[in-house]
Amino acid sequence: MRLLPAIDLIGGKIVRLTEGDFSTEEQYGDPYELLKAWQGKVPMIHLIDLEGAKAGEPRHLDVVRYAKSLGFLVQTGGGIRSEASLDAVMETGADRVLLGTKAFTDPDFLDKATEKYGKRIAVALDAYDGKVAINGWQEATKLDDISVAQDLVKRGIETILYTDIGSDGKLNGPNVSRMKALRQIVNVTLIASGGVTTEEDVKELKMAKIDEAVVGKALLSGKVSIEELIEWEARYA
């Protein structure tokens, strides 16, 4: 299992939110300093532009470029809702680009993006109580997460990042039961996000045959060190 250290960005700073609520913002310093500290320790990072997700256009492409200059593989997303924005993110050299809101409100856009960029396109499926949320998690939909995942696979998507919003930022563990339900219906690279905090969490996700997991607040708050993350990844590879 691959573990992806996460950096969420607002105003040029690393932040974490609880359940996607912008009023719960906690700051964790400068992304450039942290990326430099992680250089050579982990192969891939998860960079999310929360400010961009709320605004509807990317705001932190400079951080993506810097991460690439340090040799990281980068998974990134946030606010990519036009062809121009998508092209701009791809031009940074990002290895995996996450589409969220636009993937659900404009399926033709998703199809064109996949046709143009292939496996570099992934979808961020964010849900609360099984219902998909869009626009930086600020707007609920009536779309069922399981049905949406099935449709994404039919459309040729090979990587799905699933965030359980109810678990995000709480350090209480991931929604393993939901990840198991998804794993039973989709045979693609499946990434768990939200609540991953302990080695036991990683073990449970591995047993559920989840391919990758994002670790955010647990890492930034010091609940787990980058060295422990590396050990867990090796143990549950």
Name residues whose C-beta falls within 8 Å of residue 109's C-beta, 6 or more positions apart in sequence: 83, 99, 102, 103
Task: Based on the residue annotation, tell me whether 8 is a catalytic residue of this protein.
Answer: yes
For residue 182, the SS3 value is helix
Using CA atoms, how far apart are residues 140 and 71, in angstroms rounded to an integer? 37
Options 49, 126, 145, 168, the catalytic residue: 126
Task: Based on the residue annotation, tell me whether 111 is a catalytic residue of this protein.
Answer: no
Alpha helices in the chain (DSSP H): 31-38, 50-55, 61-69, 83-91, 101-105, 107-117, 145-154, 176-185, 199-207, 217-220, 226-235
Q: Please spell the DSSP secondary structure of 94-122, one letter per residue.
A: -SEEEE-HHHHH-HHHHHHHHHHHGGGEE
For residue 81, the SS3 value is coil
Options 8, 49, 145, 201, the catalytic residue: 8
**Which residues are designated catalytic?**
8, 126
